[in-house]
């Protein structure tokens, strides 16, 4: 199932977090993430004025710890007066309560049309190019930046003529360790494919929960297997359960000129530079 039918959702105020949500995030989310993951956000001085792409590596399945840490720290350190629109799966804009949450946070559908409209308004965009490829990489590749050869975000930056700012995230993958990445797993479990996800991961929490369901549910084997199957295909298997430290580092921006003439060959060369810049931010002491 594709998500093209939901990609044209219009966002009135991209990047603008509602005042009510700003207050909630500062009062409740910020203290919680500080206790759970002790996050730090450095390099905010590198953020240029005007539109840009803030390009980050992705991890831990749904990136729960890293995304919540970034949102809380960005609003605390930079403030809501500098809007930043996050890319989100278009399907979420048609499913309540995600649709209501997106409106409050000013996120936009991850589509070329929404990106062009947002950048044209002068609003920068936070994007995780690695998507489901990078977010479910196995734990021993936790700190390796690999966008899977994807060039779409570079086409967006080239069309808008905006710089690319690297954001390196370290530690998020250890809050919800993934043991295996597989397209086969996404197809067999079905639920990931219904969410338009091509790859799925076997997480440590997912494996432990499946074994527990198979061993202790007071029901016959068909019911146990069905419950374990449903559990393994649920996004809940990527919830953070280890209190690992999350570190977010923003590096110096790369000018739009690194994208060359916008041809595939030029963008592939630029991809190497962007991945290297994000990797440098990940490795920063």
The Cα 102–Cα 116 span in angstroms is 18
C-alpha distance from residue 215 to each of 212, 228, 284 (Å): 5, 10, 44
Among 238, 253, 270, identify where a domain stops. 238
> Residue 108 — φ and ψ, nearest 5°?
-130, 155
Q: Domain check: are 128 and 265 in the same one?
A: yes
Please tell me whether residues 162 and 279 are part of one structural domain.
yes
pLDDT at 285 > cutoff 90: no
Q: Is residue 285 classed exposed, middle or buried when 0-12, 13-18 and 19+ CB atoms within 10 A define those classes?
A: exposed
pLDDT digits (tens, 9 = 90+) for 153-174: 999 999 999 999 999 999 999 9
One domain for residues 159 and 182: no
Question: 41: domain range?
Answer: 4-176+242-283
User: pLDDT above 90 covers what percent of the chain?
Assistant: 85
Q: What is the pLDDT of residues 80-99, one digit of tens each?
A: 999 999 998 777 777 777 87
Looking at the fold, whether 110 and 213 belong to one and the same domain comes out as: no
Q: What is the model's pLDDT at position 1? A: 35
Is the link from the previous residue into 97 a cis peptide, with omega within 30 of 0?
Answer: yes
Work out the percent of the chain whose per-residue pLDDT is above 70: 97
62 band by pLDDT with thresholds 50, 70 and 90: confident
Do 220 and 84 belong together in one domain? Answer: no
Same domain, 133 and 107: yes
Q: What is the pLDDT of residue 5?
A: 53
Produce one character per residue of 4-43: b if its CB has 16 or more CB atoms within 10 Å, e if not: eebbebebeebbbbeeebbeebeeebbeebeebbebebeb
Same domain, 246 and 266: yes
Dist CA 231 CA 189 (whole Å): 9
The partner residues of 145 in beta bridges, in order of sequence, read none
Domain match, 105 and 233 both:
no
For residue 104, cis peptide bond before it (omega within 30 degrees of 0): no
Predicted pLDDT of residue 93? 79
- The count of structural domains within the chain is 2
pLDDT value, residue 11: 80
267 lies in the same domain as 216:
no
Average confidence (pLDDT) over 62-78: 96
Q: Reduced to 3 states, what is the DSSP secondary structure of residue 22?
A: helix
The stretch 254-275 carries a mean pLDDT of 98
Residue 176 confidence (pLDDT): 96
* Residue-averaged pLDDT of the chain: 93
pLDDT of residue 267: 98
167 and 54 fall within a common domain = yes
Q: Do 109 and 80 belong together in one domain?
A: yes
> Are residues 238 and 139 in contact, defined by beta-carbon separation less than 8 angstroms?
no
Dihedral sign (CA 256, 259, 261, 263): negative
Q: Mark whether 234 and 247 lie in a shared domain.
A: no
CATH of the domain at 136: 3.40.1130
pLDDT per position as a tens digit, 40-54: 999 999 999 999 999
pLDDT of the residue at 100: 83
Global pTM exceeds 0.95: no
């Amino acid at each position: 199932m594709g998500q093209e039918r939901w990609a044209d959702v219009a966002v009135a105020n991209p990047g603008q977090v509602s005042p009510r949500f700003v207050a909630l995030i500062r009062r409740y989310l910020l203290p919680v993430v500080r206790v759970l993951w002790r996050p730090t956000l450095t390099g905010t001085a590198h953020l240029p004025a005007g539109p840009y792409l803030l390009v980050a590596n992705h991890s831990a399945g749904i990136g729960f710890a890293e995304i919540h840490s970034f949102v809380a720290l960005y609003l605390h350190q930079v403030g809501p007066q500098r809007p930043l629109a996050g890319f989100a799966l278009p399907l979420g804009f048609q499913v309540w309560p995600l649709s209501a949450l997106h409106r409050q946070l000013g996120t936009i559908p991850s589509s070329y049309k929404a990106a062009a409209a947002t950048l044209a308004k002068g609003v920068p965009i936070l994007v995780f190019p690695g998507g489901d490829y990078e977010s479910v990489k196995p734990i021993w590749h936790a700190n390796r930046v690999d966008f899977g050869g994807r060039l779409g975000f570079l086409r967006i930056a080239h069309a808008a003529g905006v710089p690319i700012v690297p954001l390196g995230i370290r530690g998020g993958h250890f809050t919800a360790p993934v043991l295996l990445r597989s397209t086969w797993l996404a197809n067999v479990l079905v639920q990931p494919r219904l969410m338009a996800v091509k790859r799925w991961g076997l997480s440590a929490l997912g494996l432990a929960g499946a074994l527990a369901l198979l061993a202790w549910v007071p029901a016959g084997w068909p019911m146990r297997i069905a419950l374990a199957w449903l559990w393994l295909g649920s996004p809940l298997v990527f919830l953070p359960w280890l209190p690992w430290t999350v570190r977010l580092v923003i590096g110096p921006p790369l000018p739009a000129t690194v994208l060359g003439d916008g041809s595939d060959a030029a963008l592939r060369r630029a991809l190497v530079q962007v991945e290297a810049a994000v990797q440098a931010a990940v490795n920063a002491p």
